[in-house]
């Protein structure tokens, strides 16, 4: 008898963005004439940087010739990409990362979701709340939580509220935890943690033999000079932190797929017999067993963003999205709404008017203004009463969405 993994039954029906898409499709069916503007899922709208396109074309040509054709590549990624990553994202900050500490993948969503496999099945987890749902859902699937309660919390999980009241800087857990997920700049609130706040987490992890799983997918959007771009800027983080990075939002690779994870050799965890082992070796074992490497053509496209030309193009695209963020932030504030984020991240987090439940606000926005956003409650219980809009839309759509909210939404 093939019994199923009952942990899946603990999860709400759909993954957050699938549920948003389902509701939008149902509305479209009822109102085929509606001109819907999608500012829900954080999907980019600008084309890939020209430097990446040129590099990928050249890579296709290499694949067309016997002398330059490539089959399986190194599972951890080609050195040309790993060296570019290390040089531009770490050495430039004075940080030492070695080649065997970088794992190129098909995107950081997969890595953030899969990393939990290298921890014990009974490891305890802490997540900031609200946060990107992948961290929690994948741990539910793996059986590290109990059931979902009526307030939207899974038993056994340390939820760390990250709210307006605490300045989006969550307090340390009130019980010992083993795995700590931090997302900075945060998805969905668009807020960041200061150097002092991050140091607090690194110190906690060192004192409690915990590991920080640091999702920095939006690091390229940080504009304020004092905000760390990498967790490794914090002293001691090389012993306790794994960092996830993505080309999706940095360079428009949401459909092309490329990301990477840094697992320093010095991050270790204990086996039940008390012996300590580097997590790098476990992740390398997992990666090479379950993954055959990111496509050569894609890695060439990713590496091209580190050329001078590529860096300029990426900066222009990021500036475009951040101008959208400003338009949304200022537009909504001028309507009297409380808004957060949008300064170091492409997300704007708003308080729903009159404390309206977030899914109700989703429906209202869709019906009255034909604008799609993401309900805050989908990111965790502390997201209830909040709503996320993305700055990744086209400029024209972003301006139109704000104008419609101003004109059509009865606030
Ligand atoms: C989001 O909208 O939160 C992201 O696009 C989802 C993702 O990166 O997987």
Beta bridge partners of 148: 154
Domain boundaries along the sequence of the chain: 11-47+309-408, 53-307
**Ligand 1 atom having least distance to the Cα of 217:** 8
CA-nearest residue for atom 6, ligand 1, is 42
Q: How far is the CA of 20 from the centre of ligand 1 (A)?
A: 12
**Ligand 1 atom having least distance to the Cα of 43:** 5
How far is it, in rounded angstroms, from Cα 21 to Cα 40? 9
CA-nearest residue for atom 1, ligand 1, is 42
**Ligand 1 atom having least distance to the Cα of 187:** 3
CA-nearest residue for atom 3, ligand 1, is 42
> Distances in Å between the alpha carbon of 399 and those of 328, 363, 391?
8, 20, 11
How far is it, in rounded angstroms, from Cα 401 to Cα 36? 9
CATH 1.10.30.50 describes domain 11-47+309-408: no
Q: How far is the CA of 276 from the centre of ligand 1 (A)?
A: 34
Residue 411, pLDDT score: 76
Residue 410, pLDDT score: 75
Name every protein residue with a CB atom under 6 angstroms from any ligand 1 atom: 41-43, 109, 132, 187
Residue 100, pLDDT score: 98
Q: Is 192 exposed, middle or buried (0-12, 13-18, 19+ CB in 10 A)?
A: buried
Q: How far is the CA of 132 from the centre of ligand 1 (A)?
A: 7
CATH architecture, range 53-307: 3-Layer(aba) Sandwich (3.40)
Q: What is the CA radius of gyration of the chain?
A: 21
**Ligand 1 atom having least distance to the Cα of 41:** 2
The answer, as to whether pTM is greater than 0.85, is: yes
Mean pLDDT by 10 residues, the chain (411 residues): 97 89 96 96 97 98 98 97 98 97 97 98 97 96 96 96 97 95 98 98 98 98 96 98 98 98 98 98 97 97 98 98 98 96 98 96 96 96 97 98 91 76
Residue 13, pLDDT score: 80
């Amino acid at each position: 008898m093939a019994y199923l993994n009952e942990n899946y039954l603990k999860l709400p029906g759909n993954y957050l963005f699938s549920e948003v898409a389902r509701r939008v499709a149902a509305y479209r069916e009822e109102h085929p004439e509606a001109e819907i503007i999608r500012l829900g899922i954080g999907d980019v709208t600008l084309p890939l940087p020209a430097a990446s396109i040129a590099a990928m074309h050249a890579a296709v040509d290499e694949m067309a010739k016997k002398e330059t054709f490539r089959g399986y590549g190194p599972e951890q990624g080609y050195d040309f990409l790993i060296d570019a990553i290390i040089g531009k994202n770490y050495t430039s900050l004075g940080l030492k990362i070695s080649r065997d500490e970088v794992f190129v993948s098909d995107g950081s969503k997969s890595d953030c979701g899969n990393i939990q496999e290298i921890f014990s099945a009974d490891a305890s987890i802490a997540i900031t709340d609200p946060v990107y749902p992948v961290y929690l859902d994948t741990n539910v699937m793996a059986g590290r939580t109990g059931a979902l309660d009526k307030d939207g919390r899974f038993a056994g999980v340390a939820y760390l509220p990250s709210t307006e009241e605490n300045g989006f800087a969550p307090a340390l857990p009130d019980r010992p935890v083993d795995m700590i997920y931090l997302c900075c700049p945060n998805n969905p609130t668009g807020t960041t943690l200061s150097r002092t706040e991050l140091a607090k987490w690194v110190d906690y992890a060192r004192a409690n033999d915990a590991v920080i799983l640091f999702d920095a997918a939006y690091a390229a959007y940080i504009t304020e000079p004092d905000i760390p771009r990498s967790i490794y800027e914090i002293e001691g983080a090389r012993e306790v932190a794994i960092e996830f990075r993505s080309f999706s939002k940095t360079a428009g690779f949401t459909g092309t797929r490329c990301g990477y994870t840094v697992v320093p050799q010095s991050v270790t965890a204990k086996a039940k017999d008390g012996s300590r082992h580097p997590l790098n070796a476990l992740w390398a074992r997992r990666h090479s067993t379950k993954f055959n490497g990111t496509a050569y053509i894609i890695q060439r496209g990713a590496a091209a963003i580190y050329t001078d030309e590529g860096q300029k193009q990426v900066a222009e695209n990021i500036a475009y999205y951040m101008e959208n963020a400003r338009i949304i932030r200022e537009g909504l504030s001028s309507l009297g709404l409380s808004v957060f984020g949008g300064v170091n991240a492409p997300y704007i987090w708003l308080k729903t008017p009159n404390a309206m439940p977030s899914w109700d606000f989703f429906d209202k926005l869709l019906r009255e203004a034909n604008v799609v956003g993401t309900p805050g409650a989908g990111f965790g219980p502390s997201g209830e009463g909040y709503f996320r809009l993305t700055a990744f839309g086209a400029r024209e759509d972003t301006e139109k969405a704000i104008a419609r909210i101003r004109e059509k939404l009865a606030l």
